[in-house]
A and B are shown apart, each in its own frame.
Chain A
Amino acid sequence: MKLLEVENLETCYGNLKVLKGITFSIEKGQIAALLGANGAGKSTTLKTISGLLKPLNGSIMLENEDIARLETHKIIGLGITHVPEGRFIFSTLSVDENLEIGAHIINDKKRVLEIKEEVYNMFPRLRERYKQLGGTLSGGEQQMLAIGRGLMANPKILLLDEPSLGLSPKLFMMIMDKIVEIRDKGVTILIVEQNAKAALKISDKGFIMETGRIVKSGTANELLNDPVIQQAYLGKKT
């Protein structure tokens, strides 16, 4: 069953067209990787899906409802969470408050506590620091907090933008494991990642973007074994 279907999406920054008609879809319960060089339009795609940017053309269907052009808070309310690149933790709010804000759309207080408990179980490090201000956490902890905060809205689909940014290899592996764990709990994931190899290894399918277009898509295995992709994105010498 398709959860998210993006069709012919075009987005502009001023006069500059950054997305030139992209089409892709994600099945429910999958991890999909959106890959490509800097400036290919990956973050723009995520921002358009979450409504931070308004598309010029095209549609974004979430379970048969077109969410393109809705206001961001309505899109989040429908079950899409976007963990932005650079994390954007609320630096002067505590870890606990950051998580509470993530659950803004959930009105049932008991439910919020339940989800928060789940997030703390997933990231025990956050529980240890629940009173600490977000801005004083290390980069890895901030990434955990950003993902945890994203989960607080109990999303159907989680958009992750560059979760590896500035992380040590060890922390990066840990975050990737957590992403699989989140998928196993039933959350569909769209991940944008510079480390294409690591992203494809945990993904079900992948899309390669170049200058505003999807130039290649397929299952993760197909992409991992494609010689052209290997050379261009996976750092393999031929």
Chain B
Amino acid sequence: MELFAQQILNGLTIGAFYALIALGYTMVYGILKQINFAHGDLFMFGAYLGMTFLNMLIGAGLVSPWLIIPVCLASMLLVSALGLLLERAAYRPLRNAGRLPPIVSTLGAAIILQNAVMLLYEPRFRWYPEKISLPAWSLKIYSIQITFTQLLLLFLSFTFMTFLYLFIMKTKWGIAMRAVSLDINTAKLMGINVNKAIEITFIIGPALGAAGGIMVGLYYRQLIFTMGWNYGLKAFTAAILGGIGNVPGAVLGGIVLGLLESLSAGYIASCWKDAIAFFVLIIILLIRPQGILGEKIAEKI
């Protein structure tokens, strides 16, 4: 029971990271029906930027856990700018070129980003600065240990997700984005500037990815330039599991994947966690190919 509860908590934490990254995949798919293969590397870049900013601040003599907030915001901003650049360079010129060319161009962008980070930061593990760490305080409920870091990261991820959900459901541009994702030509006829809706997608998705990157950095403390690929693959899977194009689905998919991983790591062996998690995913997708929350509504004519 203890092990179970502890693994649920760990799974939720990892799942929240996956969910944050999965949102970027699902939003781009929703609006462009394209997969942004560079998204994992935008996440990785966010993690590295966070580390650099923290080191710079420490170099300037500033040491406080509160610094994480401005560092996180600055990284999100820069990665958003990179996301916009990616949209301009890798997607927009290929908007009418069919479905395959943008896949190739985003894969290219992914390789460029990965290599840029490898050259800038050297091809070895890097660490988040020890000097800036969150309070080591932890909560014990029965015998389940909840660390402050876990609580904070869970809280932050779910705050981001709630804001995103409210934005998409309630605001004018959120509704416009949903309209574009449903039917791009009709959205144009509503007077929606489709390019702007796409740009907003490429601002929000990478920003959330960067936040996820910094959270992974704070949680595991260790970075490698290839991490975008691993996390990206998992988050992409999470997005499909939840029903790609569906925002709550991406969150649910991320959490289900995180739970599957941590439970198989806890009960079987951690070296088997990916195999087991992906095995269960295949089963779920065989039963519901459209994903957990993905659904098609019959249209009456």
Interface residues of A (CB under 8 A from B): 50-52, 71-73, 76-77, 81-82, 84, 86, 88, 90-93, 97, 100-102, 104-105, 133, 135-139, 142, 149, 153, 166
Contact = CB atoms under 8 A, between A and B. Distances in A.
B268 to A, nearest CB: 39
B192 A135 contact: no
B301 A166 contact: yes
Given A73-B194, A101-B175, A142 B300 contact: yes
Contacts of A97: 175
A135 B297 contact: yes
B173 to A, nearest CB: 9
Contact of B183 (A52, A90, A137): A90
B185 A77 contact: no
Contact of B189 (A72, A136, A166): A72
The 10 closest A-B pairs by CB, nearest first: A76-B191, A105-B191, A72-B188, A88-B186, A73-B193, A135-B297, A135-B299, A104-B190, A90-B182, A104-B191
B230 to A, nearest CB: 33
Contacts, number: 77
A92 B296 CA distance: 9
- The residue among B183, B188, B297 with the most chain A CB atoms within 10 A of its own CB is B188
A155 to B, nearest CB: 10
Interface string B156-176: 000000000000000010011
B178 interface: yes
A139 B191 contact: no
Contacts of A82: 189
B211 interface: no
20 contacts: A52-B185, A73-B188, A73-B192, A73-B193, A84-B186, A88-B183, A90-B178, A90-B183, A91-B182, A93-B175, A93-B179, A93-B182, A101-B190, A101-B192, A104-B190, A104-B191, A105-B190, A139-B300, A139-B301, A149-B190
Interface string B225-259: 00000000000000000000000000000000000
A11 to B, nearest CB: 16
Nearest to B182: A90
B152 to A, nearest CB: 35
A167 to B, nearest CB: 11
Contact of A137 (B178, B298, B300): B300
